[in-house]
Amino acid sequence: MENSPKMKIAVVGATGMVGSVMLKLLEERNFPISEMLPVASSRSVGRELVFKNKLHRIIGLQEAVDAKPDIAIFSAGGSTSLEWAPKFAEAGCTVIDNSSAWRMDPSKKLVVPEINASILGKDDKIIANPNCSTIQLVMALAPLHNKYKMRRVVVSTYQSVSGTGIKAVQQLENEISGQRGEMAYPYPIHKNALPHCDVFEENGYTKEEMKLAREPQKILDDRTFSVSATAVRIPTAGGHSEAVNVEFHNDFDLKDVRNLLHQTPGVTVQDNPDTNTYPMPMYAHDKDDVFVGRIRRDETQPNTLNLWIVSDNLRKGAATNAIQIAEYLLYNNLLS
């Protein structure tokens, strides 16, 4: 990366939970940056934050557009992305957006680099980052789908409060310490589980559940399989977990499944019941891999597999995936 051209980078939503991790990872991964533009709402404009041991002034969206960055990584919510991503794109910037705003737009690419980065081209000026729960799901399922062909997936998620944002993390901390405070959820989250991630749609599913149903089909460019999801918020501070049941068209050997997952870049297999080895959010914390365990055959019907999938939702589920997209664009000369 030392010989790569240096980029002017804007991080939109730089003061948020995901934005903070993006800044940390850009530094960790030594992304070649000539100028860092931290962008946030009017409440934060003028304040300063530290990036690579230097103070950087937080700027507003219009000032960032006028600065004409090479890449803008958005993590500032869907309404901000819908309004401002096209303005950045018109200024010649490539936008990588972490909200749900563009994911199912047929004119926009939805990308997990290990799976489908090859679909990207120079003309892609707004690129969608998938939902955090979707990313870890497809990272584990893509190699299995390629070999055995999925028919149906049933997934139940166990999602940390960090997926909701800082307000939810504060609610959990307040409840643990017995303090009153602002509520991110309609009920207490400490010592509780809420089958309610995002808002409910007319069909009785939440938006989060419908993202899990729709996004994998687009990423894998295959609508011949179906996904049914139940998304649950649990009182963990970070890391999402998923219990996944996958029915395939073709039968499989468990040893082959483990080997296939073990050989998949970005996936770590933790699967040994004899030593109580299985993925947990506490082990996934601050790591970029997707962890897979509890790999076992569903004995109630043929060609069906059970998996337990865990990942750090702020890293691979958001920031890492977005930066990997930026790296792919840079290394493959896809930035105009």
Does the active-site annotation cover 132? yes
Does the active-site annotation cover 196? no
Residue-wise burial string across 33-64, b where 16 or more C-beta atoms lie within 10 A, e elsewhere? beebbbbbbeebeeeebebeeeebebbebeeb
Q: In what order do the strands lie in the sheet with 126-128?
A: 33-39, 7-12, 71-74, 94-97, 126-128, 109-110
- C-alpha 158/C-alpha 166 separation (Å) is 18
Both tokens assigned to 74 = 């958005």
State the virtual CA torsion across 26, 31, 34, 39 in degrees, nearest 10: -30
Both tokens assigned to 51 = 């990036």
Catalytic residue among 56, 145, 197, 240: 240
CA 77 to chain centre: 14
What separation, in Å, do the N-terminal and C-terminal C-alpha atoms of the chain show?
Answer: 18
Catalytic residue among 132, 145, 249, 285: 132
CA 297 to chain centre: 28
Secondary structure of residue 115 in the 3-state scheme: helix
State the virtual CA torsion across 268, 272, 273, 278 in degrees, nearest 10: -20
> Is the CB of residue 142 less than 8 Å from the CB of residue 251?
no
CA nearest neighbour of 88 among 101, 104, 72, 111 = 72
Secondary structure of residue 183 in the 3-state scheme: coil
Both tokens assigned to 76 = 């500032």
Active site residues: 132, 240
